């Protein structure tokens, strides 16, 4: 159950509600919203509580009986699509008519590499770049990222008018991302790092939350709830493939997640066909399919010299391939009533 307090509800009005809930053996978690305070009610026998009791309390706007396991990310709580903006010029909006294209290397490898690619992408019309500085690698002997040293490069890239999304893996990297980037990426491996999600919920930056490699739709939306319940309403989901028995691709891209999420959640969803397939030959068709299926964006790995990339070269597109893909993505977007 969710109790939505009126905008400007006083502390004593909130206290009156929470005290009554406590008397009923229930707990209320205060969720700071942009315009109002929410009370997330749990514990005890919450389903048997008569919601009308609270509807008449002073300061209460609405009482919602949310039946799904995910609460704040579901349409039972919020019917209208959420639009997540990266402020600035041009503003980037996830979840509107425009399909957002994010491109860049798997890892930021150095100043020259990243800046040259940023200029190339900018010239092609891309406004959001990706690139990891803290890399959660499967082996400790693989390249771990430039870490703190690389953030100076991001500042130079952002000075070109490019927005930057990069991954945070812990408290320290999150502080660096908050200080030097436009969007926090939470990777597949950390989708259920609940302490990290709670901390990200307190951040002022929008978040891209990638689906864990064996996460269900419910798992993903409950992970998003961790961020939303901290007061950060700006969450973009990302399908990046899941582990299945199929071995012809690195993961299996679950495109059916897109319409299912659109039905059940108000949050925008983008697709990462690079990590989903692990093979640059399959990235363009899957990027096009994602847009056709209703994705609010695609995130594609691009590298100027993939054979020498320090991570994920095999799935990185050559810049020329990416330039060829862009007009195709525009055409598909247009065919489904969207725009790039
Ligand atoms: C990434 O996008 O850099 C990444 C590591 O992807 P994932 O978390 O989906 O594996
Ligand atoms: Mn990668």
Query: Which atom of ligand 1 is nearest to 188's Cα?
Result: 8
- Tell me the pLDDT tens digit for each residue of 60-116: 999 998 889 999 999 999 999 999 999 888 889 999 999 999 999 999 999 999 999
Closest-approaching ligand to the CA atom of 314 = 2
The answer, yes or no, to whether residue 51 has pLDDT greater than 80, is no
315: tokens are 């799935």
> pTM score, two decimals?
0.96
Which residue has tokens 């305070």?
A: 37
Alpha carbons 149 and 140: distance in angstroms, whole number:
19
User: In sequence order, what DSSP letters do the residues of 130-156 get, joined into one string?
Assistant: E-BSS---SSTTS----GGGGHHHHHH
Cross-strand pairs, 84: 94
pLDDT level of residue 47 (50, 70, 90 thresholds): confident
For 208, phi and psi rounded to 5 degrees? Answer: -105, 115
pLDDT level of residue 44 (50, 70, 90 thresholds): confident
CA 240–ligand 1 middle distance (angstroms): 8
Pocket test for ligand 1, best of 104, 131, 135, 188 (most atoms within 8 A of CB): 188
Alpha carbons 307 and 305: distance in angstroms, whole number:
6
Q: At what angle do helices 319-335 and 283-292 cross, to 10 degrees?
A: 20
- Tell me the pLDDT tens digit for each residue of 213-265: 999 999 999 999 999 999 999 999 999 999 999 999 999 999 999 999 999 99
pLDDT level of residue 189 (50, 70, 90 thresholds): very high
Q: Which residues contact 239 (CB under 8 A, 6 or more apart)?
A: 211, 253, 254, 255, 257, 258, 269, 270, 271, 272, 276, 290, 295
Instruction: Note the pLDDT of residue 263.
Output: 98
Closest-approaching ligand to the CA atom of 316 = 2
| Mean predicted confidence (pLDDT) in 144-169 | 97
* CB contact at 8 A, 84 and 95: yes
- β-strand pairing of 297-301 with 100-104: parallel
Query: Which atom of ligand 1 is nearest to 241's Cα?
Result: 9
Instruction: Note the pLDDT of residue 67.
Output: 87
* CB contact at 8 A, 295 and 269: yes
Measured torsion, CA atoms of residues 149, 315, 116, 157, in degrees rounded to the nearest 10: -50
CA 136–ligand 1 middle distance (angstroms): 8
Residue ranges and CATH numbers for the domains of the chain are 2-64 (3.30.70.1140), 84-335 (3.20.20.70)
Q: Is 339 helix (H, G, I), strand (E, B) or coil?
A: strand
CA 301–ligand 2 middle distance (angstroms): 7
* CB contact at 8 A, 252 and 213: no
Nearest CA to ligand 1 atom 4: 187
CA 81–ligand 1 middle distance (angstroms): 25
């Amino acid at each position: 159950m969710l109790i939505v307090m009126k905008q400007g509800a006083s502390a004593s009005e909130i206290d009156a509600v929470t005290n009554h809930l406590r008397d009923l053996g229930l707990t209320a978690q205060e969720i700071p919203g942009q315009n109002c305070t929410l009370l997330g009610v749990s514990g005890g026998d919450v389903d048997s509580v008569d919601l009308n009791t609270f509807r008449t309390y002073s300061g209460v706007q609405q009482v919602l009986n949310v039946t799904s396991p995910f609460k704040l990310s579901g349409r039972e709580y919020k019917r209208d699509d959420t639009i997540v903006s990266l402020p600035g010029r041009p503003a980037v909006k996830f979840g509107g008519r425009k399909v957002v294209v994010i491109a860049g290397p798997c890892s930021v490898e150095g100043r020259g590499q990243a800046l040259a690619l940023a200029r190339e992408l900018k010239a092609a019309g891309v406004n959001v770049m990706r690139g990891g500085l803290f890399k959660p690698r499967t082996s400790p002997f693989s390249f771990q990222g430039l870490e703190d040293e690389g953030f100076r490069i991001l500042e130079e890239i952002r000075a070109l008018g490019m927005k930057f999304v990069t991954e945070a893996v812990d408290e320290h990297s999150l502080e660096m991302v908050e200080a030097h980037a436009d969007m926090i990426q939470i990777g597949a491996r950390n989708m259920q790092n609940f302490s990290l999600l709670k901390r990200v919920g307190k951040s002022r930056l929008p978040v891209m939350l990638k689906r864990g490699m064996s996460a269900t739709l419910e798992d993903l939306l409950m992970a998003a709830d961790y961020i939303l319940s901290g007061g950060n309403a700006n969450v973009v989901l990302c399908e990046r493939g899941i582990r299945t028995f199929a071995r012809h691709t690195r993961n299996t891209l679950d495109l059916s997640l897109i319409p299912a999420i659109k039905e059940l959640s108000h949050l925008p969803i983008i697709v990462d066909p690079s990590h989903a397939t692990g093979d640059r030959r399959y990235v363009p068709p899957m990027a096009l399919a994602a847009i056709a299926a209703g994705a609010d964006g695609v995130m594609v790995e691009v590298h100027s010299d993939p054979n020498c990339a320090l991570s994920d070269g095999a799935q990185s597109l050559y810049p020329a391939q990416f330039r060829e893909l862009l007009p195709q993505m525009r055409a598909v977007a247009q065919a489904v009533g969207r725009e790039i």
